[in-house]
Amino acid sequence: MNLIQSAKGPETEAMKKVLLLAAVSEAATGLALLIVPSLVGRLLLGQELAGVAIPVARVLGIALIALGIACWPGLTALCGMLTYSVLATLYLLCLAIRGNWVGPLLWPAVALHAVLTILLARAWLMSPKTGGRNNHAGE
């Protein structure tokens, strides 16, 4: 039995269930890091997060939410990357505007994520799953 054959049948259903569990777990952890990063730090590491660790934990939370979306059955890696890019752009922009944590690369990071968001959104809109221009199913 080769690898392709073993991926069919009950193993596929089991894999979908495990992937769904992983997606929900990662997204929930990401949401917690986004909302209450100090509490998550205390519960996971035994110490509350402080200072620059807070925005870093929130970016990690955004990444985990996007990972959960990318692993959700029926969604794609493109959808996960678009989610990450949109949320990271907005969060980094918020940090930059507030001015509390502004290093020399923060504004370039905002600009880079904004460009990536536009490119990823364009790719998502043109993908067959979203009914974009490249969808030839109706022909």
- 38 with 96, same domain: the answer is no
Distance of CA 52 to the CA centre of its chain: 21
- 2 with 68, same domain: the answer is yes
Q: Quick one: pLDDT at residue 8?
A: 56
Q: Quick one: pLDDT at residue 104?
A: 94
Q: Quick one: pLDDT at residue 102?
A: 86
Tell whether 139 is covered by a domain: no
How far is residue 77's CA from residue 64's CA, in Å, rounded to a whole number? 13
Of 60, 75, 90, the position where a domain reaches its end is: 75
Range of the domain at 16: 1-75
- 71 with 94, same domain: the answer is no
Closest CA to 79 of 22, 129, 30, 137: 129
Instruction: Give me the residue label for tokens 């110490």.
Output: 47
Q: Quick one: pLDDT at residue 83?
A: 97
Q: Quick one: pLDDT at residue 29?
A: 97
> Which value, in Å, is the radius of gyration of the alpha carbons in the chain?
19
What the block records as the tokens of 87 is 């949320």
- 82 with 122, same domain: the answer is yes
Q: Quick one: pLDDT at residue 131?
A: 55
For 101, list phi and psi in degrees, rounded to 5: -125, 80
How far is residue 120's CA from residue 116's CA, in Å, rounded to a whole number? 6
Q: Quick one: pLDDT at residue 132?
A: 55
| Burial of 92 (C-beta count, 10 Å sphere; 0-12/13-18/19+) | buried
- 64 with 3, same domain: the answer is yes
- 3 with 53, same domain: the answer is yes
Q: Quick one: pLDDT at residue 128?
A: 81
Query: Digits of tens for pLDDT over the chain (139 positions)?
Result: 444 444 555 668 888 899 999 999 999 999 999 999 999 999 999 999 999 999 999 999 999 999 999 999 889 999 999 999 999 999 999 999 998 888 999 999 999 999 999 999 999 999 886 655 544 444 3
